[in-house]
Amino acid sequence: MTSKRLLDKSPAGVRGTGAGHVVYGGNYCTKVSEHFSAKTAGVITRKKAPATVNGFDTQIVDTCSLQEPSKEPCPNGSQLASGREKHNSKKKAFCTSGEREREVGPGEVLNCCTHRLSINGQRQEDHMQVDSIISLRSVLPLRVTDVSVEEIYASSHIPVPRNRKPSGHADKEVMAATVLTTLSTSPLVLNPSLGASVSETSCRGWKESLSASYSSSTSGNWSWDASDQSVPSTPSPPLSTDVSKNFLIYSQGEDNIEEAESTHFLFEDPIPRKRKNSMKVMFKCLWKNCEKVLSTSSGIQRHIRTIHLGRNGDSDHSDGEEDFYYSEIEVNMDSLTEGLSNLTPTSPTTIGPPPVFPLGSDLARSKSATVVNSPLSQSAPSTLCHIRTDHAYQATAPVSIPTVSSEPLHSHSAISVSWQSPSIIFKSQPGAHVGILSTGEKRQPVTHAISKTHTTTISTPKPSTGTRKPRGEAKKCRKVYGMEKKDLWCTACRWKKACQRFTD
DNA sequence: GTTGCCGGGTC
DNA sequence: GACCCGGCAAC
């Protein structure tokens, strides 16, 4: 795709992309082209933004935006209703292929098609040649400041009635000053203070999102990063996103946990189901031989700016060039969480091998590195030496491992405790201290002495392949009694647990 | 395909 | 805690 082709797009594209959705982004993702056509048919943000971008008066958007899609008078509007449903039904498929499009509310489709990598690592075509990009940028030199105050105002989740009419010039000036100040002092984003007030927290989140949006803005869409959007009838940009929520946590440490919590509070997110397969977005540096993966766009931008572009890292001024050197990648958070679960119980002194994420490839490597460095992984108290939470019936199983190993298993003082290490269940013996160490369940009293020595005890090298113990030789209740006499089984067998009756 | 049982869910 | 079950790995 060339800039010429881009410019040949009909003006409807400009309208369709809506306020702040600049053409150059709408076409940036080739795979979104059909989406784009749908949007040009009038699926439009309801944001009002009288911003003029290179002569295209985006205000015109509003002539379409406030109308029902089904009554859409815009070209192709007849296809809109069905087309949009179709589009919605495709949403997931697009997400998996690395595209992103979210519906934020009724009549609102926000499209963020920044640079992306699909999860298999295949680059998209929309990573157009740099020269094309540059030419595009010269055609549409969108900057954050190009967005009108009103739009930002509407985008903010500051709880002010969105329908409020402008109360006057002075008010606008104040708002403009606020916005500009906010935008120009963005280093705060990367250095959030712990004692931030709620409003500061909100502001931070907003700025973060703005930053993320800005990364998208070079691809033309003034929309916030609202993946996994299930909540949102609010146009409030930033904090409603799982993405920003989670990644803020991962990347910025515990102070953002508070932010995430406040986010949760503010938007009343239903607590996600544990099993939910959530794809998250991270930002990967595309610079050659650099596989840095960061969780925030601002972070990756800063990385590129400082490391690769050799610019002053302290200056948050960005001409947007960094945007072309990173891409978003989608990460299965289940995998990430799985990886984290290997880390969280670890002692802060742990210098263990990085967890192996099932993502494979360099992505996993980069990510694991990122995760390892995250404060989260280091925040686990050393007392959290959870071996395994076993069911009570298993505790009675006469599995015995008689000795407390005193041999130093690691040449260094690091303690490597895997969350998934094979459990070591000591049979409780008279006079002997017990052995199940668990944080979640205090099945047996763990003495202080034990807790001091358990580090050597539990650091028994686990078998590298899996955590399952080999199948026992003894016949189990099922074998002995058969399915027809299931009531004779031990309860464990009935519950598909390790047999208590016929142990090995 | 069968079996054992882990991990996690519900009540 | 009792109970249940999906799913995985060994067989």
pLDDT tier at A61, thresholds 50, 70, 90: very low
| Chain mean pLDDT for chain A | 44
Tell me what pLDDT residue A281 has: 72
Cα A29 to Cα A27: distance, rounded to the nearest angstrom: 5
Give distance CA A465 / C1' B3 (Å). Answer: 20
Structure tokens at A276: 């939910």
Tell me what pLDDT residue A341 has: 39
Q: DSSP string covering A269-335, please? A: PPPPPTT---EEEEEEE-STT---EESSHHHHHHHIIIIIS---SS-----SGGGGGEEEEEEEHHH
The SS3 call for residue A116 is strand
Shortest-distance nucleotide from A503 CA to C1'? B4
Burial class (CB in 10 A: 0-12, 13-18, 19+), A289: exposed
Maximal C-alpha separation, chain A: 86
Give distance CA A237 / C1' B4 (Å). Answer: 50
Highest averaged pLDDT of the listed ranges A1-15, A23-37, A186-200, A312-326? A312-326
Does the pLDDT of residue A491 top 50, yes or no?
A: yes
pLDDT tier at A400, thresholds 50, 70, 90: very low
Measured CA distances, A498 to A52, A80, A325, A464, A471 (Å): 69, 57, 52, 22, 10
Highest averaged pLDDT of the listed ranges A18-32, A54-68, A129-143, A330-344? A330-344
Give distance CA A442 / C1' C11 (Å). Answer: 35
Long-range contacts from A123-127, C-beta under 8 angstroms, 24+ separation: A123/A327, A124/A29, A124/A30, A124/A31, A124/A98, A125/A1, A125/A30, A125/A31, A126/A1, A126/A28, A126/A29, A126/A30, A126/A31, A127/A286, A127/A327
Question: pTM to 2 decimals?
Answer: 0.23
Burial class (CB in 10 A: 0-12, 13-18, 19+), A71: exposed
Give distance CA A494 / C1' B11 (Å). Answer: 18
What phi and psi, each to the nearest 5 degrees, are found at residue A253? 90, -165
Does the pLDDT of residue A307 top 60, yes or no?
A: yes
Tell me what pLDDT residue A135 has: 39
Please compute the mean of the pLDDT values over residues A469-477 and round it to a whole number. 70
Tell me what pLDDT residue A185 has: 46
pLDDT tier at A26, thresholds 50, 70, 90: very low
The rounded percent of chain A whose pLDDT value lies above 70 is 14
Does the pLDDT of residue A357 top 50, yes or no?
A: no
Q: Which nucleotides of B are covered by protein (CB under 7 A)?
A: 3-9
A468 touches strand B (CB under 7 A): yes
Residue A26 near residue A13 (C-beta atoms within 8 A): yes
What single letter denotes the amino acid at residue A333? M
Q: Which nucleotides of C are covered by protein (CB under 7 A)?
A: 1-7, 9-11
Cβ contacts, strand C, under 7 angstroms? A 391-393, 441, 443, 465-466, 468, 470-471, 491, 494-497
What single letter denotes the amino acid at residue A462? K
What single letter denotes the amino acid at residue A352? G
Shortest-distance nucleotide from A465 CA to C1'? C9
Instruction: Find tokens 């109360």 and name the residue.
Output: A167
Give distance CA A153 / C1' C9 (Å). Answer: 56
Does the pLDDT of residue A302 top 80, yes or no?
A: yes
Q: What is the pLDDT of residues A173-189, one digit of tens each?
A: 656 666 565 554 444 43
Task: Give every CB contact of residue A231 below 8 A, 6+ residues apart in sequence.
Answer: A240, A267, A268, A269, A270
Cα A243 to Cα A17: distance, rounded to the nearest angstrom: 23
Shortest-distance nucleotide from A500 CA to C1'? B5
Q: What is the pLDDT of residues A254-291, one digit of tens each?
A: 334 333 333 333 333 333 333 334 566 778 888 777 77
Give distance CA A223 / C1' C10 (Å). Answer: 51
Tell me what pLDDT residue A353 has: 36
Cα A189 to Cα A187: distance, rounded to the nearest angstrom: 5
